[in-house]
Amino acid sequence: MRLCDPRRLCALIVCLSSLAFVPVTPVLARPVASAPDITAFEMEPVERFAPGAELFFRVQGTPGSRATVRVSGVTRTIVLQEVDDGVYEGSYTLRASDRAAPNSSATVTLRRNNR
C-alpha cells in the first residue's frame, strides 16, 4: 500500500522550489516628516505704536517652509518671505482699525508639508 504517489510528491517539490526563487522587493518605511523648527524670532522695536507705524519681523527656521505672524489686535495674518535658506522676513504697517498696543503679543507659525 502506497501512502504517497511519487509523481505527485515530485511535482509538489518542484512547485515549492520554484517559489523560493521569486524575487521579493522589500518595502521600506517612509520617513516621517518632522515639524519645522523655529530657531529665532525677532521683531524690531517701534518708537510709537500708532497707525502708520511699520512692524518688521525676522524668523529663522526650517528652510522651504511658510512663515506667518499674528499680532494680537491685528486682524490680518502677516506672511513672511524666505529671503535666504531658512530666513524669513516681512513687515506690516499698522492701520487705524488695528487694536494693537505696545504690549501686544506676536505669534509666529512655520508650516511645511501641512505640519
pLDDT score recorded for residue 84: 97
In angstroms, the CA 85 to CA 61 distance is 9
In angstroms, the CA 74 to CA 57 distance is 14
pLDDT score recorded for residue 47: 86
Q: Which helix (H) or strand (E) holds 17?
A: helix 6-19
Cα dihedral 115, 79, 96, 103 in deg (nearest 10): 60
Q: Is the pLDDT of residue 4 over 70?
A: no
Residues 6+ apart with CB under 8 A from 96: 51
Q: How confident is the model at residue 46 (pLDDT cuts 50, 70, 90)?
A: confident
Give the residue with greater pLDDT, 27 vs 62: 62
pTM here is 0.70
In Å, the largest CA–CA distance within the chain is: 106
pLDDT tens per residue across span 10-34: 555 555 555 555 565 666 666 666 7
- Average pLDDT on 39-50 reads 91
pLDDT score recorded for residue 54: 96
Q: What's the mean pLDDT when you consider all of the chain? A: 84
